[in-house]
Every structure is written in structure tokens, then in C-alpha cells.
């Protein structure tokens, strides 16, 4: 399905029936990353997946896609299909978008799942690294996406998940140059949402990877304490939905069943 939005088209898909779960993918990913998860939840939940700005089949809106831009686009989809009281589930960049959504629309969501994500803003070092990444991707986008995807997995899992890594690389390669740069720029300037997470008074949880090479598990531990948010740590890297698929789905089922809407 597509939604006309500010002169572009946003791609989304809806399936199932029940408490709505809104799945927001990460950087260089798209809504297809959730296919296996959706198959486990659509019998008991309405599952909404959205291609964020400049990713998948959704067009680019500008040369910088802020997390607020992506959150507003997400809201436009949910308003169009009349989704109320959703649970937001965001992987990596999708978690940043979910937090921006809570900041912009604080009375709507009834649950939050941060999967390999954080409410903390980029450190100065991370901002510098994103600027370097932009320079690299301008010169060779395919080499950048290939390297970036492999580096998301725990080192010992890269051989085990070789086939999945290739599939993700192929999907990432479809991301237009403008979409890659716009997202990197948007993540670099994203807001500090620790207060947003702290003040969110519905069910909330962080799923973290103990060996996540890009999202510090120790940072997530500190964040969970600071923001009074449940934390579950898996033994893999940044791609917990694949590296720890069974444990993640089991934990997500437990979380959603405990929700009181």
C-alpha cells in the first residue's frame, strides 16, 4: 500500500487483527526485515510495517531526513489507516524514530520497544564518524553498504549468518544515495530523548546485544536504570532479531501479552 505524502509516496503494509504493533526498521533496512517476525504475531495483532523516508519503496523527502521528519511520516500513515493505541517497535534508527514519535505525539502510543537502539544522542565521536561515512558513501555507496551491514553482527556470528547477511546487503544496496546520506545526517543531529523515555508512562523495554559492535550494551544498561526501563540483553550483536531470533520473539510475545490497553 502507498500513501501520498508531501509530494512523495510512503510504502506500508498492514496485516492481522488485534492490538496494533508498528514496526520501524533501521538504517539501510526496510520493512521486509520484519517478515519473519510478522508471521509470528499477525494472528493476534494488527501488524503495520512502514518503509521510512528514503528506504525501501518510500521516496526521499529531502537531503536531510530528521527523526522528526520520519516520525511525522509514520504518523501520517497511522492516521490514514486509523490506528489507535499502537505499540512502537523500532530497530536501531527505527528506535530513534519511535522516540521522536513519542515526543511529537505523547498521548498516542501505549508501548515502546527499543531494539538495539537508544534514547541517547550521538556522541561527538559518533557524529564525526557519521560525517566520515557520508564522505565514503558519496565515493562508493555499494562498498559502504556492504561493509556496514557485515559490521552489525557479532564477529563470531558473521559466518553463521552469511546467507542472511547477503540478503540484507542486497536490500541495502537498493537504498538510494540520497536516502543513505539524508538518514546519516538526520541521525547525526537527532535530539536527546532520555527525558522522553523516562516520562513515557506505559510499558517500555530495551532489547540489547551483549556483543553489539555499534550500540554499547553498557550504555543500554545505564540507560535502563536512568529511564526506569526494563532491559533484556541477548548474547549477539546489533541484529538481535536475527542473531537471537527465537529469544527475541519469545520476549516480544511476553511483552505484548502483558500490555494493558
Work out the average pLDDT over 207-214.
Answer: 97
Mean pLDDT for the stretch of residues 133-154: 94
What count of other Cβ atoms lies within 10 Å of the Cβ of residue 62? 15
Which sign does the torsion angle of CA 220, 225, 230, 231 carry?
A: positive
Report the C-alpha gap between 9 and 11 in whole angstroms: 6
Distance separating alpha carbons of residues 21 and 259, to the nearest angstrom: 12
Residue 154: is its pLDDT beyond 60? yes
Distance CA 175, CA 5 (A): 19
Whether pLDDT at 261 is above 90 = no
Does residue 197 contact residue 229 with C-beta atoms inside 8 Å? yes
Q: What is the mean pLDDT of the chain?
A: 96
* Predicted confidence (pLDDT) at residue 28 exceeds the cutoff of 80: yes
Is residue 231 within 8 Å of 224, Cβ to Cβ?
Answer: yes
The total number of residues shown for the chain amounts to 261
Please give the average per-residue pLDDT across 212-239, as a whole number. Answer: 97
Does 260 score more than 90 pLDDT?
no
- Considering all CA atoms of the chain, what is the largest pairwise distance in Å, rounded to the nearest integer? 49
C-beta of residue 86 within 8 angstroms of C-beta of residue 113: no
pLDDT of res. 52: 98
For 4, residues 6+ apart whose C-beta sits below 8 A from its C-beta are: none
Whether the pLDDT of residue 26 is over 80: the answer is yes
* CA dist., res. 242 & res. 253, Å (int): 16
Query: Per-residue confidence at 212, pLDDT binned at 50, 70, 90?
Result: very high
Instruction: Judge whether residue 258 has pLDDT over 90.
Output: no
What is the percent of the chain where pLDDT is above 70? 99
Q: What cell does 94 get?
A: 527505527
pLDDT digit string, tens, across residues 98-120: 999 999 999 999 999 999 999 99
Give DSSP secondary structure letters for 126-156.
HHHHHHHHHHHHHH-HHHHHHHHHHTTS-GG
Average pLDDT of the residues in 137-152: 93
Q: Buried b / exposed e across 163-191, counting CB within 10 Å, b at 16+?
A: ebbeebbebbeebeeebbbbbbbbbbebb
* Across 82-91, average pLDDT: 97
- Among 4, 25, 2, which residue's Cα sits nearest to residue 13? 2
Stretch 38-49: mean pLDDT, rounded? 96
Domain ranges (residues) in the chain: 2-257
- Nearest Cα neighbor of 117 from 242, 220, 12, 14 is 220
**Looking at domain 2-257, which of 3.30.365.10, 3.30.450.30, 3.90.650.10, 3.40.50.1820 is its CATH number?**
3.40.50.1820
Over range 77-104, report the average pLDDT. Answer: 97
Amino acid at each position: 500500500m502507498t500513501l501520498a505524502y508531501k509530494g512523495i509516496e510512503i510504502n506500508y503494509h498492514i496485516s492481522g487483527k488485534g492490538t496494533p504493533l508498528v514496526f520501524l526498521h533501521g538504517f539501510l533496512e526496510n520493512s521486509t526485515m520484519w517478515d519473519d517476525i510478522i508471521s509470528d504475531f499477525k494472528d493476534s495483532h494488527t501488524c503495520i510495517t512502514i518503509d521510512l523516508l528514503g528506504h525501501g519503496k518510500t521516496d526521499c523527502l529531502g537531503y536531510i531526513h530528521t527523526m522528526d521528519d520520519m516520525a511525522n511520516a509514520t504518523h501520517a500513515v497511522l492516521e490514514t489507516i486509523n490506528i489507535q493505541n499502537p505499540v512502537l517497535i523500532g530497530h536501531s534508527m527505527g528506535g530513534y524514530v519511535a522516540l521522536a514519535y513519542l515526543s511529537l505525539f505523547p498521548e498516542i502510543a501505549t508501548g515502546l520497544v527499543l531494539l538495539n537502539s537508544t534514547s541517547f544522542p550521538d556522541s561527538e565521536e559518533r557524529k564525526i564518524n557519521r560525517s566520515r561515512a557520508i564522505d565514503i558513501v558519496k565515493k562508493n555507496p555499494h562498498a559502504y553498504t556492504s561493509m556496514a551491514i557485515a559490521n552489525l553482527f557479532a564477529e563470531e556470528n558473521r559466518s553463521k549468518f552469511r546467507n542472511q547477511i547477503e540478503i540484507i546487503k542486497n536490500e541495502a544496496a537498493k537504498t538510494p544515495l540520497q536516502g543513505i546520506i539524508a538518514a546519516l545526517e538526520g541521525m547525526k543531529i537527532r535530539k536527546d530523548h532520555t527525558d522522553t523515555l523516562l516520562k513515557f508512562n506505559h510499558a517500555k523495554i530495551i532489547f540489547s546485544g551483549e556483543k553489539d559492535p555499534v550500540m554499547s550494551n553498557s550504555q543500554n544498561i545505564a540507560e535502563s536504570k536512568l529511564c526506569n526501563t526494563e532491559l533484556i540483553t541477548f548474547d549477539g550483536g546489533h541484529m538481535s532479531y536475527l542473531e537471537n531470533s527465537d529469544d527475541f520473539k519469545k520476549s516480544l510475545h511476553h511483552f505484548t501479552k502483558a500490555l494493558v490497553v
